[in-house]
């Protein structure tokens, strides 16, 4: 007579750790190589490796391990990002690219709250990102407000200006709501182009970040090591990403997340259960725009330049396509999708010209053949190790 086996074996941490380590090593390799043929080989190798892993059924244990040990793996992911940053501590271009990825992820996390949880459409993501960036341009040039507070003001202004859209967004549904945000995206870009105070089509310079007299735009000298000045921004962007990620994750797991899901899935039923639809849609819309605005404000300082052409409707579409590519509602998927959408075209200089075409084709393919995205949102779990 044998002892009964435990009903559910708790998933092991190991597959997740291996996957994260492999992904980090791969990312470092991809960012380090320069020759176009090598870059192509590395990218092709990555695709083959993922397909092979899927074929060998190695991906399921990884996702189980992520589901069971999310906190631990999250800490490890931060560690991996730090290793990545330290590896490229002298390389301005790579660090800028990594910071772009992190801040775009923060912005798409904001969109994720709107689209993914509350079901409020927003086709003006890049406009709210732009509001943040222009805020830091104006405030850094004309006031002495501490720059960390400028970030918060950037987010607040994005939420505030977004609140002008609240009435039409709340009253309209589906396609009608889409047109409101699309109209806003076009209005915003035209406004920037004709407004001379905001620099018109030429845009504005943005002063770099300074915290307590520490200027972020100077290289860091630590004895015999020189760190790129982007390392400063890298740290702030990573902190922002971690905070936004935890916030979104907590939000999803809380009763607020449950409410948001309920109103997205069935408004009538949610209303029957006494949920105040408008209240939660407002919360999601403002909170999402706040996150996008903060990311934009920091990105304005990182890039040290803002111009209307960076905040067009096409850019908003790229943000939305990242969201869909990653799998709406899954923050981990967003990171993967952002890396694909931002890093691959930058590394493959030969396809730079074709990148909008390729994005669009990629999104069409995903929507047509894998509508749930690359990493679909898993079922909500409250207890680690609980069965699906």
Partner 1 sequence: MTAGLLAQYVMNGLMLGMMYALVAVGFTLFFGVLDVIKFSHGDVLTVGAFTALATYVALHTAGAGSRWLELIAMLVAAILAMAFLGVLIARYLVLPLRSAPPLNTLLITLMLGTVLRESIRLFYPQGANPKPFPALLPKGSIDLGGFNLRADNVLMLAAGAAAIIGLQALLNRTKLGLAIRAVAQDEETARTMGIDFTAVVLVTFAIGSALAAFAGVMNGLYYNEINFGIGLYLGVIGFSAAIIGGLGSVYGAILGGFLFAGLQVLGTVLPFASAYKDVFAFAVVIALMAWRPTGLIQEKISERV
| Residues of the shown chain interacting with partner 1 in the complex, contacts defined by CB under 8 A | 115, 121, 165, 167-168, 171-176, 178-180, 182-184, 186-187, 190-191, 194, 268, 313-314, 317, 320-321, 324, 353-354, 356-357, 359-361, 363-364, 367-368, 371
* C-beta atoms surrounding 37 within 10 Å: 8
- By beta-carbon proximity to partner 1, the closer residue of 9 and 271 is 271
Name the one residue in this structure whose structure tokens are 């409020």.
120
- By beta-carbon proximity to partner 1, the closer residue of 128 and 233 is 128
- By beta-carbon proximity to partner 1, the closer residue of 60 and 269 is 269
Tell me 211's DSSP state. E
Coil, strand, or helix at residue 152? helix
- By beta-carbon proximity to partner 1, the closer residue of 226 and 349 is 349
Q: How far is the CB of 321 from partner 1 (least distance, A)?
A: 7
d(CA 386, CA 381): 7
Phi, psi of 222, deg, nearest 5: -115, 90
Q: How far is the CB of 93 from partner 1 (least distance, A)?
A: 26
Name the one residue in this structure whose structure tokens are 């990573």.
238
* C-beta atoms surrounding 197 within 10 Å: 7
- By beta-carbon proximity to partner 1, the closer residue of 85 and 116 is 116
d(CA 212, CA 232): 13
Q: How far is the CB of 306 from partner 1 (least distance, A)?
A: 19
- By beta-carbon proximity to partner 1, the closer residue of 247 and 314 is 314
Contacts with 241 (C-beta within 8 Å, 6 or more apart), sequence order:
102, 103, 105, 106
CA nearest to 106, candidates 125, 119, 121, 122:
125
Q: How far is the CB of 114 from partner 1 (least distance, A)?
A: 12
Phi, psi of 386, deg, nearest 5: -70, 150
Q: How far is the CB of 164 from partner 1 (least distance, A)?
A: 8
d(CA 106, CA 238): 10
- By beta-carbon proximity to partner 1, the closer residue of 31 and 366 is 366
Q: How far is the CB of 289 from partner 1 (least distance, A)?
A: 16
Let me know: does 121 contact 288? Beta carbons within 8 Å.
no
Q: How far is the CB of 118 from partner 1 (least distance, A)?
A: 13
- By beta-carbon proximity to partner 1, the closer residue of 27 and 324 is 324
d(CA 67, CA 106): 21
Q: How far is the CB of 356 from partner 1 (least distance, A)?
A: 5
Q: How far is the CB of 43 from partner 1 (least distance, A)?
A: 21
- By beta-carbon proximity to partner 1, the closer residue of 34 and 353 is 353
Long-range contacts of residues 168-177, Cβ cutoff 8 Å, at least 24 apart: 169/120, 169/281, 169/285, 170/278, 170/281, 170/282, 177/120, 177/121
Query: Is the dihedral angle over the CA atoms 259, 260, 265, 267 positive or is it negative?
Result: positive
d(CA 334, CA 327): 7
């Amino acid at each position: 007579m044998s002892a009964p086996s435990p009903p559910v074996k708790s998933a092991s941490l190991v597959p997740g750790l291996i996957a994260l380590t492999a992904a980090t090593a791969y990312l470092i390799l991809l960012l380090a190589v320069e020759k176009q043929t090598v870059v192509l080989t590395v990218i092709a190798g990555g695709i083959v490796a993922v397909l092979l892993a899927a074929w060998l059924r190695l991906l399921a244990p990884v996702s189980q391990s992520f589901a069971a040990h999310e906190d631990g793996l999250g800490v490890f992911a931060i560690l991996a990002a730090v290793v990545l940053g330290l590896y490229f501590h002298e390389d301005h271009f790579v660090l800028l690219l990594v910071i772009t990825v992190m801040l775009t992820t923060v912005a798409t996390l904001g969109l994720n709250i709107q689209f993914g949880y509350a079901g409020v459409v927003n086709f003006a993501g890049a406009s709210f990102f732009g509001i943040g960036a222009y805020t830091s341009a104006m405030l850094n040039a004309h006031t002495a407000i501490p720059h960390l507070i400028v970030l918060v003001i950037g987010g607040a202004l994005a939420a505030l200006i977004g609140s002008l859209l609240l009435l039409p967004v709340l009253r309209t549904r589906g396609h009608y709501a889409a047109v409101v945000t699309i109209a806003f995206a076009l209005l915003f870009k035209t406004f920037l182009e004709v407004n001379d105070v905001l620099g018109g089509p030429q845009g504005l310079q943005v002063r770099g970040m300074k915290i307590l007299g520490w200027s972020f735009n100077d290289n860091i000298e630590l004895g015999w090591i020189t760190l790129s000045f982007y390392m400063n921004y890298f740290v702030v962007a990573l902190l922002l990403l971690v905070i936004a990620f935890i916030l979104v994750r907590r939000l999803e797991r809380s009763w607020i997340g449950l409410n948001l899901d309920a109103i997205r899935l069935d408004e009538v039923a949610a209303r029957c259960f006494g949920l105040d639809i408008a209240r939660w849609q407002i919360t999601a819309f403002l909170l999402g725009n706040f996150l996008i605005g903060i990311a934009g404000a920091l990105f304005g300082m990182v890039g040290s330049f803002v111009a209307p052409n960076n905040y067009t409707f096409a850019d908003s579409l790229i943000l939305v396509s990242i969201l869909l590519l990653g799998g709406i509602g899954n923050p981990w998927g967003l990171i993967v999708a952002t890396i694909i959408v931002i890093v691959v075209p930058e590394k493959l200089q030969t396809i730079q010209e074709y990148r909008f075409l390729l994005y669009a084709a990629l999104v069409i393919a995903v929507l047509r053949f894998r509508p749930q995205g690359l990493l679909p949102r898993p079922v909500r779990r409250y207890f680690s190790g609980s069965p699906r």
